[in-house]
Amino acid sequence: MDPQYYSGLQEVLQTLVSATDTSTIQQATNSLKQQFYSKPVIAKDNEQWQIRQLAVVELRKQITAQWDSVDDATTEQIREMVLKMIVEEQNDLTRHGLARVISSIAKIDIPNQKWGNLIQFLYQCCQSNVAAHREIGVYTIADTMIEHLEHLFGLFSKLVNDPESLVVQVTTVEALGKVAEFIEPGEQVAIKTFQGLVPAMAQVLQKCLATGDEDSASKCFEVISVGTNTDLEDTLRIMALNFLVWTATYKRGRMQKLKIVQPLIEQMFPITTEEDPVDTDEDSPSRVALRVLNMLSTSLPPQQVFPTVINLVLQYMQNADPMFRKGAMLSLAITIDGCVDFVRSQTGDIVTLICAGLGDPRHARAPDEIAEYHQKLVPLIFGLLNDGTMEIVKYACSALEAILEGLGEAIKQYLPQLMERLVVLLDSGSIEVKPIALAAIGSAAHSSGEDFAPYFDEVVKRVKQAMALTGDDVLALRGVATDTAGTLAEGVGKDAFRPHLEETMKLALEGMEIESSNMRDCGFCYFGVMSRVFKDEFSQYLQFIAPHLIRTFKADESSAFGFTQTSEDMDEEDDADFNVSTAIADEKEVAADAAGELFASTGSGFLPYLEATTNELIELLDHYSDSTRKSAMIALFTFIRTINKMSKPGARVPVSNETASMIKIVLPPVLKMWEDEDDKMVVAQLCNELRTIMQDVGPAVTVDYAEEIAKYILEIFEKKALCQMVDEDDEEEELVDEDELAELDSLLIGAAADCIAQFASVFGDQFEPILDTFLPHIAGYAKPSFGVSERAMAVGCLSEIAKNMGPAITKYAETLFPIFMTGLQDPEAEVRSNSAYGVGVLIEAATIDVSPYFNDVLKAVYPLLRQSGNPNNSNDNAAGCVARLIVENADAVPLADVLPVWIAALPIKGDHLEDIAVYDAVCHLLKNKRAQVEPFLGALTPVLKKAMSDPATLMTDESRQYLSSL
């Protein structure tokens, strides 16, 4: 090696090891990338172990990136060097890093029949008299030759009882944990052999616990769970339970395959009955067990989780011990988070359980529930507002806040009693209760709108008083008051709030100067809402708000990270373990939301700050916080939409130069973000934003990026997107039932499908090549083996594609028609509804004669027209389907039989987009089939009168004019 090159490398590594500030670390890292990453090298002779260890870390990275491109002589030299070094190295961390280097090389070489002497070397290490060599041998074997480990049980049975080294024993337990992953249910010999080693593995764990070696004990938890053992210290139990949280997140495939989900849920429930510490921020076994349940519900298909949970909830609610009932309610609340769609049909039963919890003499806490059941829930919660225990009152206010938000007109019946009690709590409640009571008042104002007017003066007076409070103990109340000021304005309207705008703005801006991220969060929320209420009128305040936005975007987060150098973590890929304070990240997220709202609401008033804000938002696309990245991305799409609206209102093609320029600024970094994005919700939101921006702005947004966007969406359908790669060890994992998706996965695929459907609208008949690629993937989700959400998504997406492509869909009619007809027989209303819409728009768009199949279609939609309640708009979509058949070929429709049923299903109740097809069909019949319609005019006339008087009814100008003339 060139001495100058070698010396330079050591100098950079020395700088990196001794660096104490972020800037120096960044400069040293850049030097490594630019000067020394061109070929894999290793500083093997340096006297400082830190440099040797860091050099090993860098070598490992280069193995992965460059090994295949390195010449044979160099690779052979490196192989020999690392084997020699690992037996000579005295430092544990450096030796562990070398083991990872060997493992990385072996994973590339062994499948290519290279490095044949490695296995013999590792066997010799395992038989060595030196404990460190045995440890390295078993670790590397486990990491590189896992598929062949069934032949190594004899060696492992010796090493797990190593007489000299507990480290060797622990490493062997870890290796056996990996062995377990490859034992299939039918391999009886392997299962029996593994079971025979379990007692020895348990003894290793016991030794770790007895000696207080928590690090080693934690390594054994992958094989032996101790979280349910109440005899152990809470610290160890929490560690074990946190491992299960990790497993549910990153090893879900293995959990499903081994069928341990149900037993795991059953083990968690007893833990949820334990007492929790008073400090709500302190972890406890109960709280972590609930976290396990939450992660199971969000990571796994709901049908594998919720049935077990609800059965246990029912059992625990019957227990005389109130702690069991508490555990049941909390488990139900935490699990619903990931099973919303799955449990929707059971909402009534769930609310009954919640009401039982609310009526419990020990006041078990209830989860927030939808406002539809307010008549059951609100009176019970009112009762808790008068409870003598402030903790109960606090949770009652929280539940009210969630329910009131969606009550709408129904809130009127509760307002007098509600406001009387909440104002008392705001005036005289504890410091913990006051902010929650005020938030509930805000929800009431938002939901009741102008009906809140009788209470507005008294409430706004208290809000302004709270916004002026000083002192750390009242910051929470001041923040909620700032938030509530915006909610009040939106509820009562700008005219009623205008007299208070100047004063509340002054107080909000003063709050922005307080050293509190929470206060700035609330301030940004207030600014965003106020701009939405006052529109252009709010522009006068932007000169004061914009500097706060930029300051927050530029806020240094280096102080929020603790560089904890236990370099056990340093030799991992990320080189460090960071403790992250998310307060500044949350502030940046809220500021990004506010920026989008401010520009959308004030338009030209925001233009002086647009460039600087745009640049900062683009920087945030690479932020470590997924929520911050998502908010920045949404704001940037809002900027495109707003520029387009300002520069060429109503125009889609061509867009203005200003819009085109903003698209070129925003799309490339957003697509780069997509390529590297590992969070499902961020990608789902990105797909949603692309869909809506295509709707609002037109083809110009995506025409230059269509190929790249289609590639990323295809990866989602193929489950190869980075955000779907939960863990590199699970990439090839085959699930027990690959047609069962967790709801987050379903949401992601649904968003991708909606985006593709919008592509069809943008490209029209040019969409064919894209559809050829995507059709098999989308249609696959319509299979009965998939969940209702996926089936409904697939049929809905194909329906929109058929509508958006127009006559070009004819090529695919023979493929789509059977899918829609099958969907009309689906047991779920949502799928039937989408299928009725789909078959209607397909017949409308296709240029082939489908009239021979009209009777089949009419028979299939007949039950939808007759059912009551319009579930999932199925009556409306069935009526729209019949309307399209009538317009397409009325002669092929048996009008005497069809019209009575069709008219009885009218007018449209929910999906008013179907109005256009329905009333076009009515006009068509009245103009062309008057005699056949005459007998039914008595039923049709009141329908038309009601529809014409309903402002929600949609009609073409031609149809409205014709019907008005009758």
pLDDT grade for 685, boundaries at 50, 70 and 90: very high
| pLDDT per position as a tens digit, 435-462 | 888 988 888 888 888 888 899 999 999 9
Select the more confidently predicted residue: 530 or 761: 530
| pLDDT per position as a tens digit, 24-79 | 766 776 676 555 544 444 546 666 777 777 778 878 888 877 888 888 888 888 88
Asked if residue 79 belongs to a domain, the reply is no
| pLDDT per position as a tens digit, 713-722 | 999 998 889 8
Range of the domain at 857: 852-965
Q: Is the pLDDT of residue 179 over 90?
A: no
User: Which has the minimum average pLDDT: 228-232, 425-429, 689-693?
Assistant: 228-232
Q: Is the pLDDT of residue 854 over 90?
A: yes
CA-nearest of 893, 901, 886, 909 to 939 is 901
Q: Is the pLDDT of residue 134 over 50?
A: yes
Residue 58 contacts residue 32 (beta carbons within 8 Å): yes
Decide: helix, strand or coil at residue 21.
coil
pLDDT at residue number 164: 82
pLDDT at residue number 171: 76
Crossing angle between the packed helical segments 583-602 and 610-620, to the nearest 10 degrees: 140
Position of tokens 């009112």? Answer: 382
Position of tokens 């009788």? Answer: 454
Residue 812, token pair as written in the block: 């695919």
The CA angle 331-333-337, to the nearest 5 degrees, is 110
pLDDT at residue number 401: 67
What percent of the chain stands above pLDDT 90?
38
Residues facing residue 817 across a β-bridge = none
Asked if residue 175 belongs to a domain, the reply is no
The CA angle 860-864-866, to the nearest 5 degrees, is 115
Residue 792 contacts residue 783 (beta carbons within 8 Å): no
Asked if residue 961 belongs to a domain, the reply is yes
pLDDT at residue number 211: 72
Among 18-22, 402-406, 929-933, name the most confident range. 929-933
Q: Is the pLDDT of residue 748 over 50?
A: yes
Taking the C-alpha atoms of residue 367 and residue 399, their distance in angstroms, rounded to an integer, is: 7
Taking the C-alpha atoms of residue 427 and residue 200, their distance in angstroms, rounded to an integer, is: 64
Q: Is the pLDDT of residue 734 over 50?
A: no
| pLDDT per position as a tens digit, 470-523 | 988 899 999 999 999 999 999 899 999 999 999 999 999 999 999 898 999 999
Asked if residue 957 belongs to a domain, the reply is yes
pLDDT at residue number 848: 92
pLDDT at residue number 163: 83
Asked if residue 884 belongs to a domain, the reply is yes
Among 230-239, 332-341, 357-366, 438-447, name the most confident range. 438-447
Position of tokens 């302004």? Answer: 464
Residues facing residue 579 across a β-bridge = 562
Q: Across all residues in the chain, what is the average pLDDT?
A: 81
Position of tokens 């499948």? Answer: 111
Residue 799, token pair as written in the block: 């329906």
Taking the C-alpha atoms of residue 353 and residue 774, their distance in angstroms, rounded to an integer, is: 43
Peptide bond before residue 270 is cis, with ω within 30 degrees of 0? no
pLDDT at residue number 896: 93
pLDDT at residue number 649: 60
Taking the C-alpha atoms of residue 858 and residue 894, their distance in angstroms, rounded to an integer, is: 9
Dihedral in degrees, nearest 10, Cα atoms 377, 380, 383, 389: -90
Which phi and psi angles does 107 have, rounded to 5°? Answer: -65, -25
pLDDT at residue number 616: 97
| pLDDT per position as a tens digit, 819-843 | 999 999 999 999 999 999 999 999 9
Peptide bond before residue 907 is cis, with ω within 30 degrees of 0? yes
Taking the C-alpha atoms of residue 861 and residue 914, their distance in angstroms, rounded to an integer, is: 15
Asked if residue 535 belongs to a domain, the reply is no
Average pLDDT over residues 944-960: 91
Taking the model in full, what pTM does it have?
Answer: 0.66
Average pLDDT over residues 253-281: 77
pLDDT at residue number 425: 82
Asked if residue 836 belongs to a domain, the reply is no
pLDDT grade for 188, boundaries at 50, 70 and 90: low
Average pLDDT over residues 771-775: 93
Residue 274, token pair as written in the block: 């334990």
Taking the C-alpha atoms of residue 213 and residue 434, their distance in angstroms, rounded to an integer, is: 46
Report CA-CA distances (Å) from 477 to 396, 427, 471.
Answer: 17, 12, 11
Asked if residue 955 belongs to a domain, the reply is yes
Taking the C-alpha atoms of residue 550 and residue 615, their distance in angstroms, rounded to an integer, is: 10
pLDDT at residue number 690: 95
Name 676's Cβ contacts closer than 8 Å, sequence gap at least 6. 722
Name 77's Cβ contacts closer than 8 Å, sequence gap at least 6. none
pLDDT at residue number 694: 92
DSSP state of 727: -
Per the structure, the count of domains in the chain is 1
Half-sphere exposure of 407 (CA within 13 A, CB side): 29
Residue 439 contacts residue 459 (beta carbons within 8 Å): no
Position of tokens 């600024």? Answer: 665
Average pLDDT over residues 294-298: 85
Taking the C-alpha atoms of residue 550 and residue 559, their distance in angstroms, rounded to an integer, is: 19
Average pLDDT over residues 664-677: 95
CB atoms within 10 A of CB 370: 15
Q: Is the pLDDT of residue 735 over 50?
A: no
pLDDT at residue number 892: 95
Intra-chain end-to-end CA distance of the chain, in Å: 95
